[in-house]
Structure 1
Amino acid sequence: MGLVGSIPPEIGNLSFLISLDVTNNSFGGPIPPSIFNLSFLEVLNLGDNNFSSRLPFDICKYNLHRLKKLRISFNKLYGEIPSSLEHCSQLRYLSLRSNNLNGLVPTQMGNLTLLQELYFGGNNLVGNIPKEIGALTNLQILDLNVNKLNGTFPATIFSIASL
């Protein structure tokens, strides 16, 4: 829609919001923390904007327990991927691709057992792919391209029949 500016923190007042999709606009600045308090949210799509902030370290710890789709791709996020994403246990789709995220792929990602699609490509992630990813038995797509990962693929990944 060509929207520009920032998303006001009052977005958090929409307490019964189930889906928020502002894809492909020109929103910038930090993502309002109040978005991560919307406990009825099932879909959060902030992709293809200019958001520049860290993800909250406790992103799913207190709310977002109903979230099934989280897409914050093609922005300017930085910092590490929060391990607290494991508390979004209903996630089926998780995309943080094409940002400036760094650090390790959290081992806790292996706890998202309903996950079908995982996109972490196009960041600055380092280290090994954790063997815990092999616990994602519903995984159909795993995108880790264009990072600084090293080592070998854990053998556990090769037992995911749906991948």
Structure 2
Amino acid sequence: MKNWSSEASMCSWIGVTCDSRRNRVTELNIPLMGLVGTIPPEIGNLSSLVSLNMNENSFHGPIPPSIFNISSLEVLELRNNNLSSSLPSDMCKHSLHKLKRLRISFNELCGDIPLSLGQCSQLEYLSLRSNNFGGQVPTQIGNITLLQFLSFGANNLSGTIPKEIGNLTMLQILDLGDNKLFGKIFISML
């Protein structure tokens, strides 16, 4: 990245947006930049970050847990990299209460979908598609009543589709295909 140097103010770097008042980084949008390597844990020090988009690069290794502690975060997009780890079981328990968009599809993430995801109550868009998540779809997903888009397709999920998905009356797109799930979904109509 040409202008990412110590001579230039970081707020003038490509993909970096800062707030004008405090000069703190609020957006880091660097998709399709050909970046390779691991995501440094220091990214969690960007405590004013509202939007993080690192889609379609070649990041590998774990998602640093520090990302899940950024309480100002509204958008987290890490789609189409080679990230491989599980998600923290308490990822939405203490922070991420403002998160509206979580898109970490097309990676190599594994483990169970955290039950605490149901505490990210502001989520409107949630995609974990095409990873290696196993276990069941947590019933707590039914608590995210603002969801409009939900994709858990192409993972290793099994068991019954939780009836609580029927609570998601704002849902416009639901993708659970290419798993070992069974059952019916009843949407409540008011």
SS at match of 2:67: helix
- What do the CA deviations read for 1:102-142 (whole angstroms, capped 9, x no partner)? 00000000000000000000000000100000000100000
Tell me the equivalent position of 2:36. Answer: 4
Paired positions, count: 158
Identity of aligned residues (%): 69
Tell me the equivalent position of 2:80. Answer: 48
Tell me the equivalent position of 2:161. Answer: 129
Tell me the equivalent position of 2:65. Answer: 33
Q: What's the offset of the Cα at 1:69?
A: 0.1
TM-score by length of 2: 0.81
C-alpha distance in 1, partners of 2:119/2:143?
8
TM-score by length of 1: 0.95
Unaligned runs of 5+ in 1: none
1:75 matched to 2:107: yes
Is the Cα–Cα contact under 8 Å of residues 134 and 160 in structure 1 kept in the other structure? no
Q: What's the offset of the Cα at 1:84?
A: 0.1
C-alpha distance in 1, partners of 2:179/2:82?
20
The aligned amino acid for 2:163 is K
C-alpha distance in 1, partners of 2:174/2:82?
24
Is the Cα–Cα contact under 8 Å of residues 139 and 160 in structure 1 kept in the other structure? no
- What do the CA deviations read for 1:80-105 (whole angstroms, capped 9, x no partner)? 00010011100000000000000000
Is the Cα–Cα contact under 8 Å of residues 136 and 160 in structure 1 kept in the other structure? no
120, 125, 136: which one pairs with 1:88? 120
Tell me the equivalent position of 2:184. Answer: 153
Task: Say if 1:61 and 1:72 are closer, same or farther in 2 by CA, change over 3 A.
Answer: same
Tell which structure's C-alpha radius of gyration is larger: 2
Query: Which segments of structure 1 move beyond 3 Å, counting only runs of 4 or more?
Result: none
Task: Say if 1:160 and 1:94 are closer, same or farther in 2 by CA, change over 3 A.
Answer: farther
Unaligned runs of 5+ in 2: 1-32
Is the Cα–Cα contact under 8 Å of residues 64 and 88 in structure 1 kept in the other structure? yes
The aligned amino acid for 1:30 is P
1:99 matched to 2:131: yes
Task: Say if 1:30 and 1:135 are closer, same or farther in 2 by CA, change over 3 A.
Answer: same
C-alpha distance in 2, partners of 1:17/1:160?
37
C-alpha distance in 2, partners of 1:160/1:122?
28
Q: What's the offset of the Cα at 1:160?
A: 5.3
Is the Cα–Cα contact under 8 Å of residues 23 and 45 in structure 1 kept in the other structure? yes
